[in-house]
Amino acid sequence: MEHEALTVVVTRGGITESTHVIHAVIVASNGARMESWGDLSQPVYPRSAIKAMQALPMIESGAAEHFGFTDAEIALCCASHTGEAIHVETVQRMLNKIGRSEQHLECGCHWPTRVDAAYALSAEGKRPDQRHNNCSGKHTGMLAHAAMIDAPTQGYIHIDHPVQKRIAQAMAEMCEVDYDSCAWSPDGCSAPTWAIPLDHLGLAFAKFADPSNLSPVRQQACKTLYQAVVRHPFMVAGTGRYCTDMMGILGDRVFLKVGAEGVYVAAIPELKLGIALKCLDGATRAAESVMTALLDRVGITQGISDDLLDPYRKVPLVNWEKRHTGDILCDLS
């Protein structure tokens, strides 16, 4: 069933103050498009939403097993983390296991995105390094992949590096897209990202949810990654983040991942479904609102207390004095 694009409204004082337009799709693992909203043909850069897909060939190479990565460490390979102490410490443990240092990472550095973590670092008289980058877990996984296949670790972010070629091949197979014809660009962390149609992105995560028709090696890699992220949702994002909070509420039923510029994906194994969406103006707040509505739509939130879910359905906006000033609303009806 096809619908017009979705609209998320932001209210203040009883009137609409802002409006966001979202394209979205629900896809079954057999490729069937179950329901869609808006234009799915326009290529979309999924950005960090595909980190689990980028980790697939690393798992398939045997690197995670070879280096003794724990589930928490594997989950961090799929993360856009907030740079809190546990994230940074986990990256360091992974680097120790593969015999590399922070200086081998090629993601660049920025202050932790969690303000409290940034303040704590500054209070200690320290400055951030590449371990604090929200993509450092993904990059450590890429380093492990390179080491496992005896590829150079220097330059692993380049599109012609063996690691990136393996990632492109895995993504092309999961998304059923010819990556040679896709637009691409360095992402914020300098690793390549490719633009693909939204329904193909949804298909990849439907396969991730239900890998039964994939090769035995890929089936196991999907299961390994899925179990890691749902067991350790804090590693995927961090304090106060939608990915972490919603996976904490839904347990092992859903994997959720945000991407920059208003992209969101979900994998739902028990329904054999994938969800992909894009907020056209890049607003994450609207993308999160729509994702909650779509999780309700497919029924995966049934049996969960409304007290837990309602704050994500009608997101209250408050000012610095904690006064209620408005709401973020998405209506699929």
Report the distance separating Cα 294 and Cα 60, nearest Å: 31
* Residue 19 CB partners (closer than 8 Å, separation 6+): 7, 8, 9, 10
Three-class secondary structure of residue 109 per DSSP: coil
pLDDT in tens, 233-268: 999 999 999 999 999 999 999 999 999 999 999 999
Which tokens is 130 given? 């590449």
Residue 333 has pLDDT above 80, yes or no: no
pTM of the model: 0.95
CB neighbour class for 241 (10 Å; exposed up to 12, middle 13-18, buried from 19): buried
pLDDT in tens, 13-41: 989 999 999 999 999 999 999 999 999 98
Please give the span between the terminal C-alpha atoms of the chain, in angstroms, as a whole number.
13
Report the distance separating Cα 91 and Cα 109, nearest Å: 14
Residue 64 has pLDDT above 90, yes or no: yes
| AA identity, residue 219 | Q
pLDDT in tens, 181-207: 999 999 999 999 999 999 999 999 999
Report the distance separating Cα 102 and Cα 140, nearest Å: 9
Contact 30, 246 (CB under 8 A): no
Q: What is the CA angle 237-256-226, rounded to 5?
A: 95
Contact 269, 276 (CB under 8 A): no
CB neighbour class for 147 (10 Å; exposed up to 12, middle 13-18, buried from 19): buried
